[in-house]
Amino acid sequence: MRYHKIPDEAIRRLPVYLRCVFLLSGKGHQEVSSDTLSEFLGIKSWQIRKDFSYFGDFGRPGVGYDTAKLQKQLSRILRLDRVHKAALVGVGNLGSAILAFRGFSRYNLKIDAAFDSDPHKIGKKRSGVIVENVSTIDSLNKRGIDLGIIAVPEEAAQKAAEDLIKGGVRGILNFSSQHIVAPKKVKIRNIDIAMDLASLPYYMPA
């Protein structure tokens, strides 16, 4: 089911809620209230209820949410009820760290292909994935790959995005500082570690 006119910020909070539900479920919580989620996440309970209300009635008044059902509903909304495969472009220090990250499987995400232009890396296995020549990116959708991750220098990021899109990718996580120009049908998420870190000193005592 596709939902319309849902604020982007609400969508971005859904994986945060899902992660919290995973943690609470692992601690034996069979039910959870919006107040409990609020305490764990630092998000106002009314905001949590409002975000959930965009997608229907999740819980019971005065009782809260069944954690197993909430986990299933959030996964379905985010389309994480099936495995999504991703292709990584750039197997440097950052790309290698992303490949080694073990937290993707919980969300039914899997990095299934990795590409680089360095001949010393091509053909080598990194975290169980064989590095392929970046020039061979094509028909990723035939391999069941619909997501892309860019971990290359900014001067190579736009070309990497274009190659991924030509291959059939429709969602890209961009770790470069380069603004990616892409068709509207392709969703781009930008992760700029330096920019995020640069915002923190503002909150520190003078």
Q: Are strands 129-133 and 125-126 parallel, antiparallel or unpaired?
A: antiparallel
Q: Please, are residues 99 and 112 in contact by the beta-carbon 8 Å criterion?
A: no
Q: Please, are residues 87 and 110 in contact by the beta-carbon 8 Å criterion?
A: no
Say whether both 59 and 105 belong to one domain: no
Residue 119 falls inside a structural domain: yes
Q: What is the pTM of this model?
A: 0.90
Say whether both 186 and 117 belong to one domain: yes
Domain CATH for 95? 3.40.50.720
Whether the pLDDT of residue 63 is over 80: the answer is no
Say whether both 51 and 98 belong to one domain: no
Instruction: State mean pLDDT over 48-69.
Output: 84
Domain CATH for 28? 1.10.10.10
Instruction: State mean pLDDT over 175-204.
Output: 94
- For residue range 110-140, list pLDDT tens digits in order: 999 999 999 999 999 999 999 999 999 987 9
Whether the pLDDT of residue 2 is over 60: the answer is no
DSSP 185: T
Say whether both 67 and 142 belong to one domain: no
| Share above pLDDT 70 across residues of the chain, in percent, rounded to a whole number | 97
Say whether both 55 and 132 belong to one domain: no
Whether the pLDDT of residue 194 is over 80: the answer is yes
Residue 203 falls inside a structural domain: no
Residue 3 falls inside a structural domain: no
Say whether both 54 and 146 belong to one domain: no
The range of the structural domain enclosing residue 135 comes to: 84-195
Residue 49 falls inside a structural domain: yes
Mean confidence (pLDDT) of the chain: 93
Last residue of a domain, one of 34, 51, 77: 77
State the total domains in the chain.
Answer: 2
Structure-model confidence comparison of residues 74 and 59, the more confident one? 74
Instruction: State mean pLDDT over 147-158.
Output: 97
Q: Note the pLDDT of residue 4.
A: 63
Distance CA 191, CA 112 (A): 21
Residue 168 falls inside a structural domain: yes
Residue 15 falls inside a structural domain: yes
